[in-house]
Structures are given as C-alpha cells and as structure tokens.
Amino acid sequence: MSVQLQKGDKKLLNAWAFYDWANSVYSLVIASAVFPIFYEQLFSRAKIEYIDFLGFTVKDTALMSFITAFAFLVVAFISPLLSGIADYSGNKKGFLKLFCYMGALACIGLYWFDLGNLYLSLSLYFFGLVGFWGSLVFYNSYLPDVAYPEQQDGISAKGYSMGYIGSVILLILNLAMVMMPDTFKITGTEEEPAAMKAMRISFITVGVWWILFSQYTYYYLPKGNKNSNKVTSHVFFNGFKELRKVWDQLKQTTQLKRYLGAFFVYSMAVQTVMLVATYFGAKEIEWGSDDAKSMGLIGSILLIQLVAVAGAILTSKLSAKFGNIKTLIGINAVWAVICVAAFFVTLPMHFYITAGFVGLVMGGIQSLSRSTYSKMLPETQDTASFFSFYDVTEKIGIVIGMILYGAIDQIFGSMRYSVIFLTLFFVIGIILLTRVLKKH
C-alpha cells in the first residue's frame, strides 16, 4: 500500500530522504566502522596476515579490496539491465525493495562470518554490498521525480544528513554493546571475547534497522513512471540500449559530458578512501592495544559522521553562493591535501584530526555531486537510465580505484603508498572540473 503525493510535496520529499536514514547504517556499521574492525581482529587473533584464496596468497586487506572491486563490477553490469526493465515496466520501487532486502538479509548473515568458511563469509559481504549499492541506483533515480530543480540541492543534502544522524544513533548503540557487553548480557568464550560477539550482533541490528525504516519511504514513494508494460525477453537488454542513448545525448551536451568525466575521476578516489579508511586505521596507526584500537576507530568514524552533517549543510550553502562546480573544485583540493597528510599519519591524535577533515568534505562532495548531475539533466521521463549511467560511471571508477589500491597494498605491503597514489585522481579531477566552467 502507498499514498500518491504530488511532485515537490514536503511529505514526499521527506519520505525520499528518509531512505538515507534507513540504509546509511550499512555504509557506517558494515562498510566503515564495526565490520572492518571485526575483520581485522579476526585475522590478528588467528595471527594471519596473508591467506590462500583461489590459489593465490593474498594480504588480508588487499583481499577485501579485491572482493569489494568485484562486487562493484557486478553492480555496474546489472544496474543497466534492471534500470531498463524498471523504466519499461514503471516499477522502480519494486527493484529498490529487492536490493534493500537482499542487502539487509546479507548483513544479518554476517553474524556467521568466519575464517573457517571464508568463501561463504565473503559471499555474504559481497551480497550486502551489491544490495546496498544496487538499491541506490533506483533511490537516486527518484530525485528528479520527487523534487523540482530548485529543491534538489537542499533535499539531497537533507538525505545525507538524515543518513549520518540515523547511522550514528545505531553506531553508538553498537559501540556500547562492544565496549560494555555485560550490560547487554552478551557473553564470550576463550576463543571469541564478548566484544567480538557484540560485533556479530551489531550486524543483525543493521539488517533489521534497514528493513524496518525503509517501510516509511516505500509507503509514500510512487511506483515509478505510469507504464503498464509487461517485461518480456526482448526488453531485457533495454538498459544497455538506454545507456547508448544517454551516451549519444551526452555528445550533444558538452557541459554534462565534461562533468561526468570529472566525476568519474574524483569519485574513484573519494569512494576508495571511504571504503578503506578503517582498514587503514586498523593496520597503520599505533593504537597500543586491541581495546584502544576498537574504541579509537569507532570514535573516529563517529567524528566523521557528526562533522559530515555540518559539512553537507555547509557545502549546500557554499554552492548557493559560489556555484556547484567551483565548490566541487575547492572540496577536491581539500581531499588531495588529506591524502598527502594521511601518508605521514602514525599516531591516534593525527588520525582523529585527519578524520575530522574527511568528515567535513565527505558528505558535501557526495550530496553536491548527485544534485549537480540531477540539475544538468535534459528534460526526460527516463530518469532511471540517466542515473544508471551516473551510477555505472561511479561503480566502474570504484572498481578501478579498489583494484589499484589493493594491488599497491599487496605489492608494497602497506596501504600508505596506496593512499598517496589516490592524490593523483583528485588533482586530475580539479583540472577536469575547471573545463566544466568553460562554455565551449
């Protein structure tokens, strides 16, 4: 059951933004905070750093980079297929739900993550990632359907802000569970301390939260474009045909084409940093003890999320004053400085300071990139296809970024060299963004 509201309606806009509240717990607890700490401690307690995987000896952190890259490659491939079907059948909401439930159930399954069943365990992580990012394809494509151009910057920033706040609430609960397991009646064993058991339970809370709060969004979001078409075999590859049409249209819209090129490059670095930051902190920072490491890393992620709320709002105000592209250029410059600084970070205090700056520019660059693209789109009903192109661009960038990051980590045995390499992408992104400002 759902309620039909008019485009631009405040209740509809809030319902759309509320999906960020529902799904951002994945990106915080699973992708950024608790799971990376759990993963690192699983290997360190077993006194393993390199593991045999598919016949290769792979560094533990590099393995996660490669699994993540493969998941994004799958998302990049299936997104056009499903977006084409969604546009044809007018059922974007159905696909949004499908990926939401896949990702949420996979998160619950991570409770059983174990090195003894590594292939099954990594498969659960893989499907959680595919579910999260696959749902975002359809969620993002709703933005021009529910909001007018002048509303899109604000509601996009509000979505990210709600996501940060909601996910921080759950992370604080999970942090309390990890640091004070006795309070929550969580007991451990000699093989697995209570804190590790609490981390497993936190994975279940993510899946339940994601499913529960997404229902509000589903209640108000429209099903999709009002089509009564039935999906048949000949429309299965419509998404790729639509991507080709989008590409042909891009050739005629120079500014949008230039913007997508810049977005491809800098997004590659942004998403890679966000996906590996906690693994970097766990491996490269001198924490002193496992408890100090867990507290320090989760504290850093909390700091990032809280600062990111202010960052997203500040970015929205800066873009209103200076324009979207100039603001993005400034944010990319800050990102480049952060990557250079990270190479020299060894102490917890330095890591906290770096985390604060990451938070300031993290939310801003995501929300502004999404709304900038939305405002540049030509008038069209096939928004899912245009956002599918946007998402495929982002995902392919992440695949390249994660493979390069993992390969450098594997070769040099340290993630510091991987992070410094990412600086190059922000510099190139700045150069390409300056071309967007040119009229010809």
382 CA to centre of own chain: 24
Per-residue pLDDT of 193-227, as tens digits, reads 898 999 999 999 999 999 999 999 898 888 765 55
All domains of the chain in start order, with CATH? 10-224+236-436 (1.20.1250.20)
Residue 424, pLDDT score = 92
245 CA to centre of own chain: 27
Q: Report the range out of 112-126, 221-235, 269-283, 390-404 with the highest average pLDDT.
A: 112-126
Element spanning 317, H or E = helix 290-322
Residue 110, pLDDT score = 96
Write down the H helix ranges in 90-117: 92-109
Provide φ and ψ at 224, rounded to 5°. 150, -165
Confidence check: pLDDT of 286 > 80 = yes
What is the Cα–Cα distance from 164 to 94, expressed in whole angstroms? 25
Task: Please choose, from the candidates 73, 72, 71, 58, the residue with its C-alpha nearest in 3D space to the C-alpha of residue 126.
Answer: 71
Give the number of other Cβ atoms within 10 Å of residue 113's Cβ: 20
Per DSSP, the three-state class of 51 is: strand
Q: How far is CA 186 from CA 4, 111, 207, 289, in A?
A: 45, 14, 19, 22
Confidence check: pLDDT of 312 > 90 = no
Strand partners, 303: none
Contact 37, 278 (CB under 8 A): yes
Residue type, 336: A
Contact 335, 266 (CB under 8 A): yes
What is the Cα–Cα distance from 176 to 179, expressed in whole angstroms? 5
Q: C-alpha angle with apex 312: 309 to 317, nearest 5 degrees? A: 125
Residue 294, pLDDT score = 81
Per-residue pLDDT of 124-143, as tens digits, reads 999 999 999 889 878 877 88
List the single range of 149-153, 180-184, 271-275, 341-345 with lowest mean pLDDT.
149-153
What is the Cα–Cα distance from 354 to 345, expressed in whole angstroms? 8
What is the Cα–Cα distance from 183 to 129, expressed in whole angstroms? 31
- Mean pLDDT for the chain overall: 85
Q: What is the DSSP string of 144-162?
A: HHHS-HHHHHHHHHHHHHH
Task: Please choose, from the candidates 335, 109, 346, the residue with its C-alpha nearest in 3D space to the C-alpha of residue 207.
Answer: 109
Contact 164, 2 (CB under 8 A): no
List the single range of 95-109, 145-159, 172-186, 377-391 with lowest mean pLDDT.
377-391
Contact 79, 137 (CB under 8 A): yes
Residue 206, pLDDT score = 97
What is the Cα–Cα distance from 47 to 366, expressed in whole angstroms? 37
